Amino acid sequence: MDALVTRVGERDNPYLVEFYDVNCPFCARAALNVWHELLSSGAYFELVYLPVHYSIWKDLGEVKTAEGSYLVNASAFCVDEPAERVKYLLELFRVTSEVRDERKAIQRQLEIAEAKFGRLGDCLGAKLGRLAGDPELAYELAHEYALALGAVVSGVPTALLVDGGKAIEVKDGYIDVENLIKKYIELHKRT
């Protein structure tokens, strides 16, 4: 599971976990509104990729678009340094926010990823191993991670406040997720 998690900072207790998909417009809105602040706060947080849009496109029979969505999201793991990975994710979220047609956004994001990393298959194979070609396993692992924290994640964005290894607060939807992140940043400032 660690292959799909971006951990930033030194672990605190409590800490924040957010499940995202860069092709989700609601995730984009929440991320673009608060991730810069979260990143600069110095607080510990985890970002977990949950391939929801891969699953949506696959269920619609759009296999090429589904695979593109997975590749775009997974491309973030070609960036080794966690804070730089978050900045790259924000770049991808900007495209989601600006390009209203998700197919076109995914294509543009693939162009960005390939310009940055070259052939994605090579990078992803080296960074993610088996997960590079197995979105179904990635989906299952992300859900198992949430369950291990005592939460069920049915969509993205979802954010959890974790204390003692268990989710003590769970929020769904971009406004509630933004508010939980802001609350967490304030909590971190007081400690």
Q: How many residues does the chain have?
A: 191
pLDDT digits (tens, 9 = 90+) for 69-88: 999 999 999 999 999 999 99
| Residue predicted with more confidence, 108 or 174 | 108
What is the predicted pLDDT for the residue at 180? Answer: 96
Is there a contact between 30 and 174 (Cβ–Cβ < 8 Å)?
yes
> Taking the model in full, what pTM does it have?
0.94
User: What is the edge-to-edge ordering of all strands in the sheet holding 15-20?
Assistant: 5-8, 45-49, 15-20, 158-163, 166-172
CA-to-CA distance for 20 and 48, rounded, in angstroms? 6
Is there a contact between 4 and 54 (Cβ–Cβ < 8 Å)?
no
Cβ-Cβ contacts under 8 Å for 95 (sequence gap 6 or more): 105, 108, 109, 112
What is the predicted pLDDT for the residue at 1? Answer: 54
pLDDT digits (tens, 9 = 90+) for 99-158: 989 999 999 999 999 999 999 989 999 999 999 999 999 999 999 999 999 998 988 999
Task: State the DSSP string of 26-84.
Answer: HHHHHHHHHHHHHHHHT--EEEEE--HHHHHHHHTT-HHHHHHHHHHHHGGGG--SHHH
Residue with tokens 């209203």: 100
What is the predicted pLDDT for the residue at 78? Answer: 96
CA-to-CA distance for 17 and 109, rounded, in angstroms? 24
Strands 5-8 and 45-49 come out as: antiparallel
Long-range CB contacts for residues 186-191, cutoff 8 Å, separation at least 24 = 187/14, 188/12, 188/41, 188/42, 188/43, 189/41, 191/12
Q: Domains, the chain, ranges and CATH?
A: 2-190 (3.40.30.10)
Per-residue tokens: 11: 């672990």
Say yes or no to pLDDT of 17 above 70. yes
Say yes or no to pLDDT of 11 above 60. yes
What is the predicted pLDDT for the residue at 2? Answer: 75
What is the predicted pLDDT for the residue at 13? Answer: 82
| Residue (of 136, 135, 111, 132) closest to 123 by Cα position | 132
What is the predicted pLDDT for the residue at 161? Answer: 96
pLDDT digits (tens, 9 = 90+) for 25-69: 999 999 999 999 999 999 999 999 999 999 999 999 999 999 999
What is the predicted pLDDT for the residue at 12? Answer: 77
CA-to-CA distance for 84 and 80, rounded, in angstroms? 8
Angle at 17 between CA 47 and CA 20, to 5 degrees: 45
Is there a contact between 14 and 168 (Cβ–Cβ < 8 Å)?
yes
